[in-house]
Chain A
Amino acid sequence: MTTNATADTVTDARSEDLPEARPGTRFEDLPALMGRMTGAEKHGPAATSTLDVLWVLYDRVLRVTPATAEDQDRDRFLLSKGHGPMAYYAVLAAKGFIDPEVLASFGGYDSPLGHHPDRTLVPGVEISSGSLGHGLPLGVGTALGLRAQGLADPAVWVLVGDAEFDEGSNHEAVAFAGASGLDRLHVVVIDNTSATHGWRGGIAQRFAAEGWSTATVDGRDHEALHRAFTAEHPGRPHVVVARVEPKENH
């Protein structure tokens, strides 16, 4: 089992293994990639609640590249909140998993890029999602499977939304993972205050009550996100609640 002391070292070593961002694939260039899917000229980063979190994870945290996307010891990122996957596809394109030319086909009959992702159609997509509340239980099983195979290094990351957290399946997974000390399991909750009944006292305390390590940070602050993503959490799973602007009502 990886301890946090080693996890920190590993994280530092990882960033050196990551490929240099290709020309035109800085964070500032993601809106243009998203524009290929929507046809819109401009997208401010705030147009999507997940963009900063996804970028920091893929740019600085996750040990997975197009070349290692099938390796058994890769880190795994599970996009549970499959809605609004344009930011995800844009980051995957920026990191070389998807040919940027494919982005324009978004939602088309023959496109691999649906409005909810399908893991069998897109390289680097770990789960097919869309129905809410499936990613966290799948992430628990993934962490169990890696542990059972003696793979103590790979991290499992699951992204959920604060409204998605309404689904009871998440709570089954949070309680079990905490009780089991699944310390290679990580969750990032994008909290844009969109849950209909809210979460009194904050989402993090639901995880803390089950024994998780928690951090709540500004979901637009890349340094704060990176610190929270790489925090030590010996013997416990870890959640990062990334708070962003409240969802606009349409």
Chain B
Amino acid sequence: MDTMRDRFVDVTSRLLDEDPRLAVVLADITAAAFTPAQERHPDRVVNVGIREQLLIGATGGLALTGMRPIAHTFASFLIERPFEQVKLDLTHQGVGAVLVSAAGSYDWPAGGRTHMSPGDVALLDTLPDWTVHVPGHPDEAEQLLRHAYADGDRNVYVRLSAHQNAEPVAVEPGRFTTVRTGSRGVVLAVGPMLDAVLAATEGLDATVLYAATVRPFDAAGLRAAVGDRADVVLVEPYLAGTSANAAHEALADRPHRMLGLGVPREEHRHYGSIPEHLAAYGLDAPALRERIGTFLW
């Protein structure tokens, strides 16, 4: 199976042929894979080199001329490093772009902390009007990327990961999908966390919602799912509790309990593999079963 990042290159390269508004801005990462598209569209596939402030600034400038720019690199260097450019060169200018990241929170554990960005979605939460897609499968990534490119002039973040579910979910952008129905609480699984959540809640009487879009937060979807018992567990592949505030707001008019699971804030000074890191964060199926079961029962 291809990865989400492979699919990003394929679908974006194809859409560049069809939509003259689209332009891709790169900072060396994934540049080799875009070479064929760059040969066809030398003015619309631009690699600025290892210059991430310029990556976002130039993206903002392209948007100022009416283009629909797509900027891409690892999440650490797309959101965290040039965050003031994201704030000022996109949001504050009143223009929109699509930011597509790879590597996420823990995709390359052997690379260590410098290539981990569990705080990216929380950072974007400090800015108004961002859409955030977190696909869990290459098919969802393709669907959400196509949606993002055609999403007017909105600012959209698409968070791609090497961690993915075995099967795609039929998602509607912006809506949570009900994967399993139960009566003793709701577990919201975000993107690549779905397979582990389904394994962890097997045999438990709990509703499982799936989110491939986390901003805007589907408050109506969560409210409809909670039923009589407003006990909610969030399982996110980035900083634990990132969506807790949005979920609390959705349930502000009723008593509720909430547990936010995800990547811990503490630095985790180990290398190794994705499964080792998920286990260490308490995000593999056995740990999730223990934590979810304890909270809901």
Contacts and interface: CB of A to CB of B under 8 A. Distances in A.
Interface of A: 72, 119-120, 126-128, 131, 133-134, 136-149, 168-169, 172-173, 175-176
A134 B20 CA distance: 26
The 7 A-B pairs with the shortest beta carbon distances in the complex, nearest first, are: A141-B61, A137-B57, A145-B65, A141-B58, A172-B51, A172-B54, A169-B53
B64 A126 contact: yes
B156 interface: no
B181 interface: no
A149 B68 CA distance: 12
Nearest to A169: B53
B275 interface: no
Contacts of A147: 43
B94 interface: yes
A72 to B, nearest CB: 7
Contacts of B93: 119, 127-128, 138
B43 A148 contact: yes
B84 interface: yes
Contacts of A127: 64, 93
B23 A145 contact: yes
18 contacts: A72-B65, A127-B64, A137-B53, A138-B89, A140-B54, A141-B57, A141-B60, A141-B65, A143-B61, A145-B69, A148-B62, A148-B67, A149-B20, A169-B57, A169-B85, A173-B58, A175-B49, A176-B51
A11 B81 CA distance: 40
Q: Which residue among A119, A120, A144, A175 has the maximum number of chain B CB atoms within 10 Å of its CB?
A: A144
A160 to B, nearest CB: 13
A173 B85 CA distance: 13
A144 B51 contact: no
B286 interface: no
A147 B41 CA distance: 12
B23 A172 contact: no
A137 B46 CA distance: 13
Contact of A140 (B49, B61, B94): B61
B66 A137 contact: no
Given A128-B88, A134-B85, A146 B60 contact: no
B159 interface: no
Contact of A148 (B44, B54, B57, B60): B44
Given A119-B94, A141-B57, A149-B67, A134 B62 contact: no
Given A138-B58, A145-B65, 14 more contacts: A119-B93, A127-B93, A131-B88, A134-B88, A138-B89, A138-B93, A141-B58, A142-B62, A143-B61, A145-B23, A145-B62, A148-B67, A149-B65, A173-B57
Contacts of A176: 48-49, 51, 54, 58
Contacts of B14: none
B92 interface: yes
A143 B54 CA distance: 13
B59 interface: yes
